[in-house]
Homo-oligomer: A and B are copies of this chain.
Amino acid sequence: MTRPRNDTFLRALMREPVEYTPIWLMRQAGRYLPEYNETRRRAGSFLNLCKNPAAACEVTLQPLARFELDAAILFSDILTVPDAMGLGLYFAEGEGPKFERPLRQEWEIRNLAVPDPYAELRYVMDAVAEIRRALGNSVPLIGFSGSPFTLACYMVEGGGSDDFRRIKTLVYDRPDLAHHILEVTARAVTAYLNAQIESGAQAVMLFDTWGGTLPAWAYREFSLAYMQQVVQGLKREHAGERVPVIVFTKGGGQWLEQIAGIGCDAVGLDWTTDIAAARARVGDRVALQGNLDPMALFASPERIGDAARRILDDFGPGPGHVFNLGHGISQFTPPEHVNALVDCVHGHSRALRATSATAA
């Protein structure tokens, strides 16, 4: 396969020169889009949408039809891997994800096994292939997985949590069991992402939504170490093209140097981190992805532009920036505000390069 016509996103991840700063948005296919809600209504549920490759393909492409985005991201859930491990993912109305069989007993933990991504997770690989065909040669497709620690949080808590009491009690009291869950899950995530790459994903991202709730030492030992294991096990080249890897820990701003050191190509930043300071800290080791506050999209288009320009100016015209939000887009976002953001990022980043070229 050849590179997409618009490979700005891939080049920015590899810190190659680009004409403008590429942009995509975490959760860009989602509930803030009326067309998504319509497809979801027809599918009957969120899980049906994830498990039906044609429907997943349809919603993946929806934001690209509306906005000049520089990448598509596979539409799926972060909990597909534990679901394939047999935990029984379901969504209670208005309550977020839950597992029918959370890990509560030591024997349940000891019985965990790595699922075959081409069997239990076949529907994801079919979706990746179908989306690649539908995208044709336009923009690259990002594959993704939850990080081992983030998956373990849900697997042990049985759903979302305010305080992560169960998983943390395991970390403090039975670190051996926590490590066992993480070790099996890291192998499962590695196989899952490699299968996505083989099926056509042109970049992959690890979402570590909950690693930032750990003390620094426990983050290194229970989250970062397993993301490193995953990154080191990934196929970094497929069909003659390099496949870049992005690692994002929400709340990980204190640990950027360490995250940048695990072998990834890019580090995702949440909106609390000053991107200029981040760039100074990681130097030219990795590209950075981020980091507009998702709530900034509720301001007027003019103020959205101010907030986006601040980030572009802070990063500067140098290579290695992919613009994004610092977390998933809110379901209440007015879609037309996304147009304002995308236009501003493309326009201002071109202007910034022109000014810097003239100055030089």
B168 and A293 contact, CB distance less than 8 A: yes
Interface centre among A214, A216, A217 (most CB of B within 10 A): A216
Within the complex, which residue of B173, B212, B273 is in contact with A216, where a contact is CB–CB below 8 Å? B273
Q: Given the complex of chains A and B, what is the CA–CA distance between A307 and B332 in angstroms?
A: 41
Tell me, yes or no, whether A45 is within 8 Å of chain B by CB.
no
Tell me, yes or no, whether A66 is within 8 Å of chain B by CB.
no
Q: A251-B251, A293-B168 are in contact. Are A216 and B274 (CB under 8 A)?
A: yes
Residues on B with beta carbons closer than 8 Å to the beta carbon of A293: 168, 214-215, 218
Q: Which of A6-14, A29-37, A105-113, A295-303 contacts B (4 or more CB under 8 A)?
A: A295-303
Tell me, yes or no, whether A310 is within 8 Å of chain B by CB.
yes
Q: A213-B272, A272-B254 are in contact. Are A300 and B165 (CB under 8 A)?
A: no
B168 and A295 contact, CB distance less than 8 A: yes
Closest to A275 in B: B216
This protein's copies in its complex: 2
Residues on B with beta carbons closer than 8 Å to the beta carbon of A355: none
B298 and A169 contact, CB distance less than 8 A: yes
Within the complex, which residue of B254, B291, B296, B310 is in contact with A168, where a contact is CB–CB below 8 Å? B296
Tell me, yes or no, whether A192 is within 8 Å of chain B by CB.
no
Tell me, yes or no, whether A200 is within 8 Å of chain B by CB.
no
A165 and B295 contact, CB distance less than 8 A: yes
B310 and A217 contact, CB distance less than 8 A: yes
Residues on B with beta carbons closer than 8 Å to the beta carbon of A219: 272
Residues on B with beta carbons closer than 8 Å to the beta carbon of A326: 215
B272 and A251 contact, CB distance less than 8 A: yes
Residues on B with beta carbons closer than 8 Å to the beta carbon of A332: 165
B295 and A172 contact, CB distance less than 8 A: yes
